[in-house]
Amino acid sequence: MRIRVRAPKRLSGTVQVPGDKSISHRAALFGAIASGRTEITGYLEGEDCLNTLTAVRALGALVTRKGPGHYLVDGAGLSGLREPDQVIDCGNSGTTARLLMGVLAGQPFWTFLTGDDSLRRRPMKRVVEPLTRMGATVVGREDGSRLPLGVRGARPLRAIAHDSPVASAQVKTALLLAGLWADGPVTVTEPVRSRDHTERMLRGFGARLSVDGTTVTLTPGAELRGPCVAVPGDISSAAFLLVAGTIARGAEIAVTGVGVNPTRAGLLDALEWMGAPVGRSHAALAAGEPVADLTTRSATLRCAVVGAPMIPRLIDEVPILAVAACMAQGRTRITDAAELRVKESDRIRSIAAALGKLGARITEAHDGLDIEGGARLRGATVQSGGDHRIAMALCVAGLVAEGETIVEDTECIGTSYPGFVETVNALADAPCVEELP
């Protein structure tokens, strides 16, 4: 599938975004190992999170769909999961694969995991190595570092203190989950704190967890009990609309009910530094997560320097931040973001190549991007490389480019943001984003 984009005359209105991807995965997975029933509303029905539901079903949890985004997960408890009779396909979802590995490390049976072309290229050693040290057995390609992988757990696992070389919530979560079956406290220290949805939600499920700076410790022994989880709107999806609503002409938009967890909301800070009039209102707390309505309108942006420790707070938003930087005055530098090279695509390369084709003055650095703002973007045919966040960032670039932009390979948008095209069109004065076969 391809998407044709033209610049709208106006972009205005109030919209919602689908549920948060990270929180949805966790609600399904934690529900599956909890005792009793977890009720989830606002669950993201994108392919990644649907893959997590399929996986927990295969492992013995009972999942019932009550309506759009509304699920009941009857958990198997900490000792009730069973050996799946099929290979579990995690699709495009690194979160499904890595978080599951943490759970599987504590299960006394074999489970085999695979994924799509992109996921089979992504590094798994970062979870496999510490899980193996805890006592799990992992076999697979490249000495157990790429999917397909087979995991056989052990019980109890050995308690470890792990110093993660990367700030990764997936690594942190995998180890904390494995810690539920360990013979003592499991500690993870990160160079910079990554998103803390796991810490918040596991506590809500009754786990014993303490946080000290960038170190998190899980002490096993507590049974998990699922509360009701109301998943907030995904700030990573809202990011595309907020940048569009800032760089497009005649724009004024609001996105309601968005999760604004400070470990995730780096894009809002970056946009504010750049001069975007981002407003927050109706602050509330849902499922232990701060939520707010967000507004913005057309503004002239200035450049910014974005590096560690901000990067983990906006790691998934770098492609769309790069689009904002193309429209800003001056030179924006994004550094300390080498992790982008091992996401669904090499996002440094893919966004630099595609925005360059639209006329942006953007160059790759080994760990980031240099973007000379103020370029006039001109419509062209550009590739998403099968990466949902690149596809949507390019659609937003198309909204401010002259003429017509064709974004190729856009089915991937459904992994995280079903309804993206419809929402952009709902904000526009006339349909400006069109799906082509």
Binding site residues, ligand S3P, CB under 6 A: 22, 25, 95, 168-170, 173, 194-195, 315-316, 339
Quick one: which of 313, 300, 254, 241 has its CA closest to 280? 254
- Count of beta carbons in the 10 Å neighbourhood of residue 437: 4
Q: How far apart are CA 133 and CA 125, in angstroms?
A: 12
Q: Token digits for 224?
A: 């998990």
Q: Could you say which of 196, 316, 346, 387 is catalytic?
A: 316
Query: C-beta of 66: minimal distance to ligand S3P in Å?
Result: 24
Q: Which is nearer to ligand S3P, 262 or 431 (CB)?
A: 262
Q: Which is nearer to ligand S3P, 405 or 415 (CB)?
A: 415
Dump the DSSP string for 391-428: HHHHHHHHHTSBS-EEEE--GGGGGT-TTHHHHHHHHB
Q: Which is nearer to ligand S3P, 211 or 426 (CB)?
A: 211
C-alpha pair distances (Å), 249 with each of 300, 317, 329, 330, 375: 10, 22, 16, 19, 15
Q: Provide the H-helix boundaries in 180-234.
A: 197-204
CA angle 111, 30, 25 (to 5 degrees): 80
> Which residue is nearest to ligand S3P, using beta carbons?
22
| 316 in active site | yes
CB within 8 A of 132, min separation 6: which ones?
138, 144
Beta strands in 42-92 (DSSP E): 62-67, 70-76, 88-89
Q: Which is nearer to ligand S3P, 95 or 187 (CB)?
A: 95
Q: Are 164 and 197 in contact (CB under 8 A)?
A: no
What's the one-letter identity of residue 129? E
Q: Token digits for 427?
A: 């904000």
- Count of beta carbons in the 10 Å neighbourhood of residue 142: 11
Q: Which is nearer to ligand S3P, 151 or 315 (CB)?
A: 315
Quick one: which of 296, 320, 316 has its CA closest to 399? 320
Q: Are 34 and 225 in contact (CB under 8 A)?
A: yes
Query: C-beta of 173: minimal distance to ligand S3P in Å?
Result: 6
Query: C-beta of 146: minimal distance to ligand S3P in Å?
Result: 15
Q: Which is nearer to ligand S3P, 44 or 428 (CB)?
A: 44
Query: C-beta of 427: minimal distance to ligand S3P in Å?
Result: 24
Q: Which residues pair with 3 in a beta bridge?
A: 407, 435
Q: How far apart are CA 281 and CA 395, in angstroms?
A: 28
Q: Which is nearer to ligand S3P, 274 or 315 (CB)?
A: 315
Catalytic residues: 316
